[in-house]
Structure 1
């Protein structure tokens, strides 16, 4: 696992804008939340790709304040970003990923830029935005995070197949 962080909004190094790519709020009860996370995670063996209905209920219950945003490209859902607010003004980007049909189309850098900007705007007291990734994620994930201005603050040896690895991390029961 690799953990990365930003401690000030001016650390963001935005990617070039992609016309047609926007970030829209997504209600946590939308069926798109489960569908998109499962589809994003399938190529990487993420837990979200095989979670049962009961496991999804537990995942939602563990973070009742988790918020979801939908990167949309030319009106089509292109991925998902979720945020967990933590004490002390910390925002964890709990999930970040693009649907397989949108990977490799030059959208990831700007989608992440939009997601980071939103993270800094979630509350008036945000002083840190962080996430984690693993080698089970897309091979461009960590380089994209570093290009956007995140710095690595911790690494852990070994990967846990099927646990805590949805894009940037998702807790599996």
Structure 2
């Protein structure tokens, strides 16, 4: 489909994002782990309340809402599926990061979710989590690891993925309902995205 150059109105109640998909076709050389009081652990059977709370704390400022809109059965089927692995990063006796790896496609892994809570942004915790993600993913017989990020995410997210060895291969525009308008997320989050509608 060809889209002409120019400006286009976004319907009221919607948000628009530029989505960049990135891939890695071979394991990278990992930098040393940053110093910090963190530990990464796998959560084999994540509880739904635990998952929703962490997903919200990690992603609310970036308008993560897809998993919050799922009912219990949908969410359980998604995060407890064979081939899906959930990890968190523990800090000060609490879980402060969310990592989701999806190995369900043969020889491929999607880094579905990746993020730390706001109090750990810029501390090196994200680098540690990424090191563990890359080690775990490439321990499998992969030919491709991929991830996507968007213009609603943290402004340094795209550059971070590129520094980690991912290379962009696709760009898309995504329209979605603004989760602040239907109560999925509080109206006062994500001040970098104007609330219209």
TM range (shorter): 0.7 to 0.9
Deviation of 1:110 after TM superposition, in Å, equals: 2.5
Alignment check: 8 A CA contact 1:46 1:162 kept: no
- Report whether the alignment pairs 1:90 with 2:105: no
Deviation of 1:162 after TM superposition, in Å, equals: 5.2
Residue 60 of structure 2 corresponds to which residue in structure 1? Answer: 42
Superposed counterparts of 1:120-131, under 5 Å: 120-121=138-139, 123=140, 125-131=141-147
Deviation of 1:137 after TM superposition, in Å, equals: 1.0
Deviation of 1:72 after TM superposition, in Å, equals: 2.1
Superposed counterparts of 1:145-160, under 5 Å: 145-156=161-172, 158-160=173-175
- Report whether the alignment pairs 1:6 with 2:24: yes
In 2, Cα distance between equivalents of 1:95 and 1:34: 13
- 2:34 counterpart (17, 24, 28): 17
Alignment check: 8 A CA contact 2:58 2:116 kept: yes
Bigger-Rg structure (1/2): 2
Q: How many residues align?
A: 157
Deviation of 1:17 after TM superposition, in Å, equals: 2.3
Alignment check: 8 A CA contact 1:21 1:71 kept: yes
In structure 2, the CA distance between the partners of 1:88 and 1:50, relative to structure 1 (3 Å rule), is closer
Query: Which runs of 5 or more structure 1 residues have no equivalent in the other structure?
Result: 164-173
Alignment check: 8 A CA contact 1:90 1:127 kept: yes
Alignment check: 8 A CA contact 2:36 2:124 kept: no
Residue 189 of structure 2 corresponds to which residue in structure 1? Answer: none
In 1, Cα distance between equivalents of 2:123 and 2:175: 29
In 2, Cα distance between equivalents of 1:59 and 1:35: 13
Greater helix percent: which structure?
Answer: 1
Give me the TM-score of the superposition, normalised by structure 2: 0.69
Residue 27 of structure 1 corresponds to which residue in structure 2? Answer: 44
Q: Superposition RMSD on alpha carbons, in Å?
A: 2.3
Query: Which runs of 5 or more structure 2 residues have no equivalent in the other structure?
Result: 1-18, 179-197
Moved more, 127-136 or 43-52: 43-52
Give me the TM-score of the superposition, normalised by structure 1: 0.78
